[in-house]
Homo-oligomer: A and B are copies of this chain.
Amino acid sequence: MNSSGVVYFSTMIKVIVLGYGNVGRHLVKAFQAAQDVEVVQVYHRSAQDDSELSDVEITSDISEIKVADVYVIAIPDDEIEGFSKQIPKNDGIVVHTSGSVSIQKIHDTHQKGIFYPLQTFSKDRTVDFSTVPICIEAQSERDLETLRTLAESISVSVHHITSVERRKLHLAAVFVNNFSNHLYHISEEILLENNLSFDLLKPLLRETTEKAIISKPAEVQTGPAVRNDEQTIEQHLELLRNKKYRKIYKAITKSITATHGKKL
């Protein structure tokens, strides 16, 4: 903390959000609701029908970008590197919001940073940003403090995470989010094939999540694999006609058995 801390923190942080997909859209809303943040501009490649953005200046021309303290890139992962080159040199911090892209992919003309909200965003669902973990990284203490102040203006869960840690975190998030979701899809497919509704499983789905949140997942593991119930496992493999699903079933079953074996 420096001696001018009080003055510094009471200053409005000027933010420009670049990109207006799911992440950008939610960030703009959250920043607009925050007390000490001013969204001075939104860069939106196809800025047309956004009545929600009536109170913010929008541009689709990157050369028209204004002056801000933080430039938040919220575009697809593989476009970050190329896009960051096009952002005019400035005195702010240029951050991206991706879990898997290195801080080094931001072009060297900029002061670089990361502002990674660890959540899945959808167009039609409101997210309570105040509990979304925001993982920040910067290249100087001063920049880190600015990003921390910005993050704390919208969330109570702010974490300084290195790029190496962020990669691990993203990998863990893939298991929790992307992979679980695919398992839900498989479940739904099994049910639909038999004219059963996925609704039947929704209370179970919700309770599974709540249990894992309250307890340690390994401690609440149940099912044929953890019981080593070979007869049920065999029956299940016979029922699964999709080869790829059988592979998943076998791989997870082996891993559960191994995890449980280790514990005994």
Name A's B-contacting residues (CB within 8 A): 77-78, 100, 118-120, 122, 125, 127, 131-133, 135, 157, 159, 161, 165, 167-169, 171-188, 190-191, 193-194, 196, 199-218, 220-227, 229, 232, 235-236, 239-240, 244-245, 247-252, 254-256, 258-259
Contacts and interface: CB of A to CB of B under 8 A. Distances in A.
Dominant secondary structure of chain A at its interface with chain B = helix
B239 A248 contact: no
B205 A212 contact: yes
B216 A206 contact: no
Given A178-B222, A245-B255, A172 B185 contact: no
A245 to B, nearest CB: 7
A244 B251 contact: yes
B225 A178 contact: yes
Contact of A168 (B165, B190, B205, B210): B190
A222 B260 CA distance: 30
Nearest to A232: B100
A168 B216 CA distance: 28
A250 B232 CA distance: 24
Given A120-B208, A209-B209, A235-B100, A201 B220 contact: no
29 contacts: A118-B204, A119-B203, A120-B208, A125-B207, A125-B210, A131-B203, A135-B200, A165-B196, A167-B235, A167-B239, A168-B190, A171-B240, A175-B186, A175-B187, A175-B190, A176-B183, A178-B226, A180-B209, A182-B252, A182-B256, A183-B252, A185-B259, A188-B216, A206-B209, A208-B209, A244-B251, A244-B254, A247-B254, A248-B255
Given A120-B222, A213-B202, A255-B245, A169 B185 contact: no
A176 B168 contact: no
A232 B80 CA distance: 14
Contacts of A207: 119-120, 125, 127
Q: Which 3 A-B pairs have the closest CB atoms?
A: A178-B223, A184-B217, A185-B217
Contact of A120 (B135, B199, B211, B252): B211
